[in-house]
A and B are shown apart, each in its own frame.
Chain A
Amino acid sequence: MSMDAHQRPSEAAGESFVKPDAGLQPPPAELLELAAGVSETPPRAAPLGEEEVLQERRAPSPLRESLRRLRRDRRAMVSLGLIIFFVLVAFFGPPIYQHIGSIYQSPQNGPVPASVYHSYYHEELIRQDEGPSAQYWLGTDDLGRDILARLMQGMLVSIIVATLVEVVDIVLGLIVGVLAGYFGGWIDQLLARFTDLMFAFPGLLFAIMLTGIIGPGASDALAKLPIIGPNGNGRLLLVSLALAITVWPLMARYVRGQTLQLKEQQFIEAARTSGSSDLRIIFRHIIPNLMSIVVVASTLNISNTIIGEAGISLLGLGVQAPGSSLGLMISDATPYINTHPWEILVPTTVLALIVLAFSFLGDGLRDAFDPRSKD
Chain B
Amino acid sequence: MLQFLVKRLIGLIFVIVGITFITFIMGYLAPGDPIRAQMGDHFDYHTWLMLRHAYGLDLPWYQQYYNYLVHLAHLDFGISFKYQNRPVWDILKDGVPVSLELAFWGLIVELLLGIPVGILSAIRANSWIDTLNMGVALIIYALPPFVIAILAQVIIVWIDSKTGASWPSSSWGAPWQYDWADLQPKIVPILVYGAAGYAYFARLARTTMLEVLRQDYVRTARAKGLRERVVIYWHALRNALIPLVTVLGVAIGLLVAGTFFIEQIFNIPGIGRISLQSVIDLDYPVIQATVVLLAVGVVVGNLISDILYTIVDPRIRLE
A contact residues vs B (CB 8 Å cutoff): 193, 196-197, 199-206, 208-210, 212-214, 216-217, 303, 307, 310-311, 314-317, 330, 334, 337-338, 341, 344-345, 348, 351-352, 355-356, 359-360, 375
Contacts and interface: CB of A to CB of B under 8 A. Distances in A.
Contacts of A202: 253, 256-257, 294-295, 298
A220 to B, nearest CB: 9
Interface residues of B, number: 50
Interface in B274-319: 275-276, 279-280, 282, 287, 290-291, 294-295, 298-299, 302
A328 B256 CA distance: 22
Contacts of B261: 311, 314-315
Contacts, number: 119
Contacts of A334: 150, 265
B146 A314 contact: yes
Contacts of B48: none
Interface of B: 11, 14-15, 18-19, 22-23, 26-27, 30-32, 138-139, 142-144, 146-147, 150-151, 153-154, 157-158, 161, 169, 206-207, 210, 253, 256-257, 260-261, 264-265, 275-276, 279-280, 282, 287, 290-291, 294-295, 298-299, 302
A172 B207 CA distance: 32
Q: Is the interface of A mostly helix, strand, loop or mixed?
A: helix
B153 A337 contact: yes
Nearest to A210: B26
19 contacts: A193-B14, A201-B291, A203-B257, A205-B260, A209-B23, A213-B26, A217-B31, A217-B32, A310-B146, A311-B144, A311-B261, A314-B264, A315-B276, A330-B146, A337-B150, A348-B150, A359-B142, A375-B206, A375-B210
B279 A208 contact: yes
A206 B294 CA distance: 11
Contacts of B146: 310-311, 314, 330
A329 to B, nearest CB: 11
Per CB-CB distance, the 7 closest pairs between chain A and chain B, nearest first, are: A212-B279, A217-B31, A359-B142, A307-B144, A213-B30, A197-B18, A200-B15
B115 to A, nearest CB: 17
A177 to B, nearest CB: 20
A101 B170 CA distance: 41
Contacts of A337: 150, 153-154, 157, 169
B156 to A, nearest CB: 9
Nearest to B22: A201
A196 B144 contact: no
Task: Pick the most buried of B146, B157, B291: most chain A CB atoms within 10 A of its CB.
Answer: B146
Contacts of B30: 213-214, 217
Contact of B282 (A203, A213, A345, A348): A213
Contacts of A307: 144
